Structure 1
Amino acid sequence: MSTPTTRRHGDALRAEILHAVLDELRDQGYPGVTYDGVARRAHTSKPVLYRRWRSRAHLVLDALTAELPPVLPIPDTGSLRGDLIALLQLMRTRFDLVGAQTIRGIIADADDELRHVALEITDVFAAEISRSVVQRARDRGEIGPAPVPLLVCSVPVVLLRHELLLADEPTDQRIVEIVDVAGLPLIIDAANAG
Protein backbone atom coordinates (compact mmCIF):
# COMPACT_ATOMS: atom_id res chain seq x y z
CA MET A 1 0.00 0.00 0.00
CA SER A 2 1.54 3.28 -1.04
CA THR A 3 1.57 6.33 1.17
CA PRO A 4 -0.57 9.15 -0.21
CA THR A 5 1.47 12.13 -1.34
CA THR A 6 0.67 15.52 0.01
CA ARG A 7 0.55 18.53 -2.23
CA ARG A 8 3.18 21.08 -1.41
CA HIS A 9 2.67 24.79 -1.87
CA GLY A 10 4.46 28.06 -1.30
CA ASP A 11 7.74 28.06 0.56
CA ALA A 12 7.91 24.28 1.04
CA LEU A 13 7.56 23.61 -2.68
CA ARG A 14 9.96 26.41 -3.62
CA ALA A 15 12.59 25.11 -1.17
CA GLU A 16 12.33 21.57 -2.56
CA ILE A 17 12.61 22.85 -6.14
CA LEU A 18 15.63 25.01 -5.35
CA HIS A 19 17.29 22.09 -3.57
CA ALA A 20 16.64 19.94 -6.65
CA VAL A 21 18.23 22.63 -8.84
CA LEU A 22 21.38 22.59 -6.70
CA ASP A 23 21.51 18.79 -6.88
CA GLU A 24 21.15 18.92 -10.67
CA LEU A 25 23.82 21.60 -10.87
CA ARG A 26 26.23 19.54 -8.77
CA ASP A 27 25.57 16.34 -10.74
CA GLN A 28 25.11 17.68 -14.28
CA GLY A 29 26.77 21.10 -14.39
CA TYR A 30 24.95 24.16 -15.67
CA PRO A 31 24.50 22.86 -19.25
CA GLY A 32 22.84 19.72 -17.88
CA VAL A 33 20.26 21.50 -15.71
CA THR A 34 16.87 21.01 -17.36
CA TYR A 35 13.28 21.59 -16.34
CA ASP A 36 12.69 17.84 -16.78
CA GLY A 37 15.53 16.94 -14.43
CA VAL A 38 14.56 19.48 -11.79
CA ALA A 39 10.88 18.52 -11.94
CA ARG A 40 11.78 14.84 -11.57
CA ARG A 41 14.03 15.49 -8.55
CA ALA A 42 11.54 17.84 -6.90
CA HIS A 43 8.60 15.49 -7.57
CA THR A 44 6.65 18.20 -9.34
CA SER A 45 5.74 19.08 -12.90
CA LYS A 46 7.40 21.25 -15.52
CA PRO A 47 4.40 23.65 -15.68
CA VAL A 48 4.95 24.41 -11.97
CA LEU A 49 8.54 25.39 -12.80
CA TYR A 50 7.58 27.44 -15.85
CA ARG A 51 5.01 29.40 -13.84
CA ARG A 52 7.68 30.55 -11.38
CA TRP A 53 10.86 30.78 -13.50
CA ARG A 54 10.90 31.90 -17.12
CA SER A 55 14.28 30.34 -17.93
CA ARG A 56 16.93 27.96 -16.70
CA ALA A 57 19.13 30.96 -15.89
CA HIS A 58 16.43 32.45 -13.63
CA LEU A 59 15.90 29.11 -11.94
CA VAL A 60 19.60 28.48 -11.28
CA LEU A 61 20.32 32.03 -10.12
CA ASP A 62 17.39 31.87 -7.70
CA ALA A 63 18.71 28.58 -6.28
CA LEU A 64 22.23 29.95 -5.90
CA THR A 65 21.01 33.18 -4.32
CA ALA A 66 18.94 31.22 -1.81
CA GLU A 67 21.92 28.97 -0.99
CA LEU A 68 24.64 31.59 -0.54
CA PRO A 69 24.61 34.05 2.35
CA PRO A 70 23.29 37.40 1.09
CA VAL A 71 26.00 39.47 2.72
CA LEU A 72 29.66 38.68 3.10
CA PRO A 73 31.45 39.65 6.29
CA ILE A 74 33.49 42.72 5.40
CA PRO A 75 37.10 42.11 6.40
CA ASP A 76 38.82 44.41 8.86
CA THR A 77 42.55 43.85 8.43
CA GLY A 78 43.62 47.15 9.91
CA SER A 79 44.42 48.89 6.61
CA LEU A 80 42.54 50.09 3.54
CA ARG A 81 44.84 48.08 1.27
CA GLY A 82 44.42 44.91 3.32
CA ASP A 83 40.64 45.32 3.48
CA LEU A 84 40.37 45.75 -0.29
CA ILE A 85 42.56 42.71 -0.98
CA ALA A 86 40.62 40.59 1.52
CA LEU A 87 37.26 41.67 0.08
CA LEU A 88 38.31 40.79 -3.48
CA GLN A 89 39.57 37.42 -2.22
CA LEU A 90 36.16 36.82 -0.63
CA MET A 91 34.50 37.65 -3.95
CA ARG A 92 36.76 35.18 -5.72
CA THR A 93 35.92 32.51 -3.13
CA ARG A 94 32.20 33.08 -3.61
CA PHE A 95 32.67 32.83 -7.37
CA ASP A 96 34.56 29.55 -6.85
CA LEU A 97 31.67 28.15 -4.80
CA VAL A 98 29.31 28.75 -7.69
CA GLY A 99 31.77 27.86 -10.45
CA ALA A 100 32.92 29.69 -13.54
CA GLN A 101 30.95 27.46 -15.91
CA THR A 102 27.72 28.17 -14.01
CA ILE A 103 28.23 31.93 -13.84
CA ARG A 104 29.21 32.14 -17.50
CA GLY A 105 26.20 30.01 -18.44
CA ILE A 106 23.81 32.21 -16.50
CA ILE A 107 25.28 35.34 -18.11
CA ALA A 108 25.06 33.78 -21.57
CA ASP A 109 21.39 32.86 -21.04
CA ALA A 110 20.44 36.05 -19.18
CA ASP A 111 17.75 38.40 -20.34
CA ASP A 112 17.76 42.09 -19.41
CA GLU A 113 16.17 41.45 -16.01
CA LEU A 114 18.74 38.83 -15.07
CA ARG A 115 21.66 40.97 -16.27
CA HIS A 116 20.34 43.74 -14.03
CA VAL A 117 20.28 41.34 -11.06
CA ALA A 118 23.87 40.26 -11.78
CA LEU A 119 24.99 43.89 -11.90
CA GLU A 120 23.22 44.57 -8.59
CA ILE A 121 25.41 41.90 -6.97
CA THR A 122 28.49 43.86 -8.07
CA ASP A 123 26.90 47.05 -6.77
CA VAL A 124 26.46 45.44 -3.34
CA PHE A 125 30.21 44.81 -3.09
CA ALA A 126 31.00 48.34 -4.29
CA ALA A 127 28.56 49.79 -1.75
CA GLU A 128 30.26 47.80 1.02
CA ILE A 129 33.62 49.22 -0.02
CA SER A 130 32.08 52.67 0.04
CA ARG A 131 30.26 52.25 3.33
CA SER A 132 32.46 50.03 5.47
CA VAL A 133 35.97 49.84 4.07
CA VAL A 134 36.33 53.53 3.19
CA GLN A 135 34.78 54.68 6.45
CA ARG A 136 37.11 52.51 8.51
CA ALA A 137 40.09 53.87 6.55
CA ARG A 138 38.82 57.37 7.24
CA ASP A 139 38.42 56.58 10.96
CA ARG A 140 42.00 55.26 11.05
CA GLY A 141 43.25 58.47 9.40
CA GLU A 142 44.46 56.69 6.25
CA ILE A 143 42.41 58.88 3.90
CA GLY A 144 40.87 62.32 3.88
CA PRO A 145 37.26 63.34 4.54
CA ALA A 146 36.08 64.00 0.96
CA PRO A 147 33.27 61.73 -0.27
CA VAL A 148 34.42 58.82 -2.40
CA PRO A 149 31.98 58.27 -5.30
CA LEU A 150 30.43 54.85 -5.64
CA LEU A 151 31.87 54.68 -9.15
CA VAL A 152 35.39 54.93 -7.71
CA CYS A 153 34.65 52.28 -5.08
CA SER A 154 33.31 49.97 -7.77
CA VAL A 155 36.53 49.98 -9.82
CA PRO A 156 38.30 47.12 -7.97
CA VAL A 157 35.08 45.08 -7.92
CA VAL A 158 34.43 45.61 -11.63
CA LEU A 159 38.02 44.74 -12.54
CA LEU A 160 37.80 41.53 -10.51
CA ARG A 161 34.44 40.70 -12.12
CA HIS A 162 36.07 41.13 -15.53
CA GLU A 163 38.87 38.75 -14.55
CA LEU A 164 36.45 36.18 -13.15
CA LEU A 165 34.17 36.17 -16.18
CA LEU A 166 36.52 36.73 -19.09
CA ALA A 167 39.96 35.53 -18.04
CA ASP A 168 41.50 32.84 -15.91
CA GLU A 169 40.74 32.87 -12.22
CA PRO A 170 42.73 35.75 -10.75
CA THR A 171 45.63 34.79 -8.51
CA ASP A 172 46.38 36.54 -5.24
CA GLN A 173 49.08 38.45 -7.12
CA ARG A 174 46.52 39.68 -9.67
CA ILE A 175 44.17 40.78 -6.88
CA VAL A 176 47.02 42.73 -5.26
CA GLU A 177 47.73 44.34 -8.63
CA ILE A 178 44.08 45.37 -9.04
CA VAL A 179 44.14 46.97 -5.60
CA ASP A 180 47.59 48.59 -5.84
CA VAL A 181 47.38 49.89 -9.40
CA ALA A 182 43.72 50.87 -9.69
CA GLY A 183 41.56 50.63 -6.58
CA LEU A 184 43.74 52.09 -3.85
CA PRO A 185 45.09 55.10 -5.78
CA LEU A 186 41.61 56.09 -7.00
CA ILE A 187 40.03 55.84 -3.55
CA ILE A 188 42.87 57.74 -1.88
CA ASP A 189 42.79 60.49 -4.52
CA ALA A 190 39.03 60.88 -4.23
CA ALA A 191 39.08 60.95 -0.41
CA ASN A 192 41.90 63.51 -0.35
CA ALA A 193 40.44 65.76 -3.07
CA GLY A 194 39.45 69.29 -2.26
Structure 2
Amino acid sequence: MDPVTRRRGDALRSEILGAVRDELRDHGYAGVTYDGVARRAQTSKPVLYRRWRSRAHLVLDALSDQLDLVIPPPDTGGLRGDLIGLLHLMRSRFEVAGAQTLRGIVADADSDLRSALLELTDALVDEISRSVLQRARERGELGPVPIPPLVSSVPVILFRHDLLLTEEPNDERIEEIVDSVCLPLMHAVSRRPLA
Protein backbone atom coordinates (compact mmCIF):
# COMPACT_ATOMS: atom_id res chain seq x y z
CA MET A 1 0.00 0.00 0.00
CA ASP A 2 1.27 3.45 -0.90
CA PRO A 3 2.52 5.19 2.30
CA VAL A 4 0.68 8.36 1.28
CA THR A 5 -2.70 6.57 1.44
CA ARG A 6 -1.88 4.45 4.45
CA ARG A 7 -4.77 4.39 6.93
CA ARG A 8 -4.30 4.61 10.66
CA GLY A 9 -6.32 4.92 13.83
CA ASP A 10 -10.08 5.25 13.53
CA ALA A 11 -10.09 5.14 9.72
CA LEU A 12 -8.23 1.82 9.66
CA ARG A 13 -10.32 0.38 12.49
CA SER A 14 -13.54 1.35 10.74
CA GLU A 15 -12.36 -0.25 7.50
CA ILE A 16 -11.39 -3.46 9.28
CA LEU A 17 -14.65 -3.73 11.22
CA GLY A 18 -16.62 -3.17 8.02
CA ALA A 19 -14.61 -5.94 6.38
CA VAL A 20 -15.40 -8.25 9.31
CA ARG A 21 -19.13 -7.59 8.94
CA ASP A 22 -18.89 -8.24 5.20
CA GLU A 23 -17.02 -11.52 5.81
CA LEU A 24 -19.59 -12.50 8.41
CA ARG A 25 -22.44 -11.79 6.01
CA ASP A 26 -20.79 -13.72 3.18
CA HIS A 27 -19.28 -16.67 5.08
CA GLY A 28 -20.85 -16.88 8.55
CA TYR A 29 -18.90 -16.89 11.80
CA ALA A 30 -17.04 -20.11 11.03
CA GLY A 31 -15.84 -18.63 7.73
CA VAL A 32 -14.43 -15.40 9.16
CA THR A 33 -10.63 -15.62 8.99
CA TYR A 34 -7.80 -13.18 9.53
CA ASP A 35 -6.75 -13.82 5.93
CA GLY A 36 -10.18 -12.94 4.58
CA VAL A 37 -10.56 -9.83 6.72
CA ALA A 38 -7.05 -8.60 5.91
CA ARG A 39 -7.62 -9.12 2.20
CA ARG A 40 -10.99 -7.37 2.22
CA ALA A 41 -9.72 -4.47 4.37
CA GLN A 42 -6.52 -4.24 2.30
CA THR A 43 -4.29 -4.54 5.34
CA SER A 44 -2.03 -7.19 6.82
CA LYS A 45 -2.72 -9.97 9.30
CA PRO A 46 -0.17 -8.59 11.80
CA VAL A 47 -2.23 -5.39 11.95
CA LEU A 48 -5.24 -7.49 12.93
CA TYR A 49 -3.35 -9.62 15.45
CA ARG A 50 -1.98 -6.51 17.18
CA ARG A 51 -5.50 -5.23 17.84
CA TRP A 52 -7.58 -8.39 18.28
CA ARG A 53 -6.25 -11.53 19.91
CA SER A 54 -8.86 -13.87 18.42
CA ARG A 55 -11.56 -14.15 15.79
CA ALA A 56 -14.17 -13.95 18.54
CA HIS A 57 -12.76 -10.61 19.79
CA LEU A 58 -12.63 -9.29 16.23
CA VAL A 59 -16.21 -10.30 15.39
CA LEU A 60 -17.67 -9.05 18.68
CA ASP A 61 -15.95 -5.69 18.22
CA ALA A 62 -17.35 -5.42 14.69
CA LEU A 63 -20.87 -6.22 15.89
CA SER A 64 -20.68 -3.98 18.97
CA ASP A 65 -19.52 -1.13 16.75
CA GLN A 66 -22.92 -1.28 15.01
CA LEU A 67 -25.01 -1.29 18.16
CA ASP A 68 -26.11 1.40 20.53
CA LEU A 69 -25.02 0.10 23.92
CA VAL A 70 -27.92 1.79 25.69
CA ILE A 71 -31.47 1.13 24.60
CA PRO A 72 -34.20 3.49 25.75
CA PRO A 73 -36.78 1.29 27.49
CA PRO A 74 -40.27 1.13 26.04
CA ASP A 75 -43.06 2.80 27.98
CA THR A 76 -46.26 0.93 27.15
CA GLY A 77 -48.11 1.98 30.29
CA GLY A 78 -47.77 -1.41 31.99
CA LEU A 79 -45.05 -3.66 33.38
CA ARG A 80 -46.01 -6.60 31.18
CA GLY A 81 -45.85 -4.55 27.99
CA ASP A 82 -42.59 -2.91 29.03
CA LEU A 83 -40.90 -6.26 29.74
CA ILE A 84 -42.15 -7.73 26.47
CA GLY A 85 -40.99 -4.60 24.65
CA LEU A 86 -37.52 -4.85 26.21
CA LEU A 87 -37.14 -8.47 25.14
CA HIS A 88 -38.28 -7.56 21.62
CA LEU A 89 -35.60 -4.85 21.55
CA MET A 90 -33.06 -7.35 22.79
CA ARG A 91 -34.08 -9.80 20.08
CA SER A 92 -33.75 -7.14 17.39
CA ARG A 93 -30.25 -6.28 18.65
CA PHE A 94 -29.12 -9.88 18.52
CA GLU A 95 -30.71 -10.43 15.09
CA VAL A 96 -27.91 -8.20 13.77
CA ALA A 97 -25.44 -10.94 14.67
CA GLY A 98 -27.61 -14.03 14.43
CA ALA A 99 -27.79 -16.88 16.90
CA GLN A 100 -25.11 -18.97 15.17
CA THR A 101 -22.62 -16.11 15.32
CA LEU A 102 -23.32 -15.49 19.00
CA ARG A 103 -22.94 -19.18 19.76
CA GLY A 104 -19.60 -19.19 17.92
CA ILE A 105 -18.36 -16.18 19.86
CA VAL A 106 -19.40 -17.74 23.17
CA ALA A 107 -17.70 -21.03 22.24
CA ASP A 108 -14.44 -19.18 21.48
CA ALA A 109 -14.69 -16.69 24.35
CA ASP A 110 -11.96 -16.16 26.91
CA SER A 111 -12.70 -14.47 30.25
CA ASP A 112 -12.23 -10.95 28.83
CA LEU A 113 -14.62 -11.65 26.00
CA ARG A 114 -17.23 -13.16 28.31
CA SER A 115 -17.12 -9.91 30.29
CA ALA A 116 -17.62 -7.90 27.09
CA LEU A 117 -20.58 -10.09 26.12
CA LEU A 118 -22.17 -9.54 29.50
CA GLU A 119 -21.77 -5.77 29.09
CA LEU A 120 -23.95 -5.95 26.00
CA THR A 121 -26.86 -7.29 28.04
CA ASP A 122 -26.13 -5.40 31.27
CA ALA A 123 -27.53 -2.21 29.75
CA LEU A 124 -30.89 -3.94 29.41
CA VAL A 125 -30.76 -5.18 32.99
CA ASP A 126 -30.00 -1.63 34.14
CA GLU A 127 -32.97 -0.30 32.19
CA ILE A 128 -35.25 -2.93 33.70
CA SER A 129 -34.06 -2.04 37.18
CA ARG A 130 -34.15 1.71 36.87
CA SER A 131 -36.83 2.70 34.43
CA VAL A 132 -39.23 -0.16 33.88
CA LEU A 133 -39.52 -1.32 37.49
CA GLN A 134 -39.60 2.23 38.87
CA ARG A 135 -42.48 3.15 36.56
CA ALA A 136 -44.31 -0.05 37.52
CA ARG A 137 -43.88 0.79 41.20
CA GLU A 138 -45.17 4.34 40.61
CA ARG A 139 -48.25 2.89 38.83
CA GLY A 140 -48.90 0.57 41.80
CA GLU A 141 -48.11 -2.60 39.86
CA LEU A 142 -45.36 -3.61 42.29
CA GLY A 143 -45.16 -3.56 46.05
CA PRO A 144 -42.80 -1.41 48.13
CA VAL A 145 -39.99 -3.96 48.62
CA PRO A 146 -36.99 -3.27 46.33
CA ILE A 147 -36.40 -5.90 43.69
CA PRO A 148 -32.86 -7.29 43.90
CA PRO A 149 -30.65 -7.23 40.78
CA LEU A 150 -30.82 -11.02 40.41
CA VAL A 151 -34.61 -10.86 40.07
CA SER A 152 -34.59 -7.83 37.76
CA SER A 153 -32.12 -9.64 35.50
CA VAL A 154 -34.30 -12.75 35.10
CA PRO A 155 -35.95 -11.67 31.81
CA VAL A 156 -32.58 -11.04 30.20
CA ILE A 157 -31.03 -14.21 31.62
CA LEU A 158 -33.88 -16.40 30.33
CA PHE A 159 -33.82 -14.70 26.94
CA ARG A 160 -30.04 -15.12 26.68
CA HIS A 161 -30.36 -18.79 27.67
CA ASP A 162 -32.86 -19.44 24.89
CA LEU A 163 -30.85 -17.51 22.33
CA LEU A 164 -27.58 -19.28 23.06
CA LEU A 165 -28.75 -22.79 23.94
CA THR A 166 -32.02 -23.43 22.12
CA GLU A 167 -33.64 -21.22 19.51
CA GLU A 168 -34.07 -17.50 19.05
CA PRO A 169 -37.09 -16.69 21.22
CA ASN A 170 -40.22 -16.00 19.17
CA ASP A 171 -43.07 -13.75 20.32
CA GLU A 172 -44.84 -16.63 22.07
CA ARG A 173 -41.71 -17.58 24.03
CA ILE A 174 -41.08 -13.95 25.04
CA GLU A 175 -44.63 -13.71 26.40
CA GLU A 176 -44.16 -17.02 28.24
CA ILE A 177 -40.97 -15.74 29.88
CA VAL A 178 -42.74 -12.58 31.02
CA ASP A 179 -46.11 -14.12 32.02
CA SER A 180 -44.98 -17.41 33.57
CA VAL A 181 -41.77 -16.35 35.30
CA CYS A 182 -40.99 -12.64 35.47
CA LEU A 183 -44.30 -11.10 36.47
CA PRO A 184 -45.14 -13.67 39.19
CA LEU A 185 -41.59 -13.47 40.58
CA MET A 186 -41.42 -9.67 40.55
CA HIS A 187 -44.86 -9.33 42.13
CA ALA A 188 -44.03 -11.86 44.85
CA VAL A 189 -40.65 -10.34 45.70
CA SER A 190 -41.94 -6.77 45.76
CA ARG A 191 -44.76 -7.67 48.14
CA ARG A 192 -42.97 -10.04 50.51
CA PRO A 193 -43.01 -9.09 54.17
CA LEU A 194 -39.98 -7.13 55.30
CA ALA A 195 -37.80 -9.09 57.73
Give the shorter-chain TM-score range.
Answer: over 0.9
Match for residue 88 of structure 1? 87
Residue 25 of structure 1 aligns with which residue?
A: 24
Alignment partners' CA distance in 1, 2:117 and 2:68 = 15
**Paired residues for 1:148-163 under 5 Å:** 148-163=147-162
Shift of 1:123: 2.3
Question: What is the one-letter code of the residue matched to 1:85?
Answer: I
- Give the drift of 1:28: 1.0
Post-superposition Cα deviations, 1:62-100, rounded to whole Å, max 9, x if no partner, equal 000001122222111100011001111111122222101
Matches of 2:65 and 2:96 in 1, distance apart?
Answer: 13
Displacement after TM superposition at 1:4 (Å): 6.9
- The 3-state SS of whatever aligns with 1:67 is coil
- For 1:78, give the aligned amino acid: G
Which residue in the other structure is 1:174 paired with?
173
Q: Secondary structure at the match of 2:167?
A: coil
C-alpha distance in 1 between matches for 2:28 and 2:72: 28
Trace 1:27-66 onto structure 2 (pairs within 5 A).
27-66=26-65
**Contact conserved, 2:69 with 2:123, CA < 8 A, in 1?**
no
Per-residue CA deviation, residues 41-69 of structure 1 (Å, 9 max, x unaligned), is 11110000000000000000000000112
Query: How far apart are 1:5 and its partner, in Å?
Result: 4.8
Contact 2:35 2:45 in 1 (8 A): yes
- Show the 5 A alignment for 1:62-77: 62-77=61-76
Counterpart in 2 of 1:117? 116
CA distance in 1, matches of 2:5, 2:139: 58
Contact 2:71-2:123 within 8 A present in 1 as well:
no
2:113 partner SS = helix
TM-score, with structure 1 as normaliser: 0.94
Contact 2:69 2:120 in 1 (8 A): no
Structure 1 gaps, min length 5: none
2:102 aligned residue: 103
1:142: Cα distance to partner?
Answer: 1.3
Cα distance in 1 for residues equivalent to 2:146 and 2:3: 63
Given the alignment of the two structures, is residue 13 of structure 1 paired with residue 12 of structure 2, yes or no?
A: yes
TM-score (norm 2): 0.94
- In structure 2, the CA distance between the partners of 1:11 and 1:36, relative to structure 1 (3 Å rule), is same
Note the alpha carbon deviations across 1:112-136, whole angstroms, 9 max, x for none. Answer: 1111211222322111100110011
Q: Structure 1 vs Structure 2: percent identity of aligned residues?
A: 68
- Give 1:141 deviation, angstroms: 1.7
Count of aligned pairs = 193
Give the RMSD, CA atoms, in angstroms: 1.6
SS in 2 for 1:98: coil
Counterpart CA distance in 1 for 2:3 and 2:117 is 41
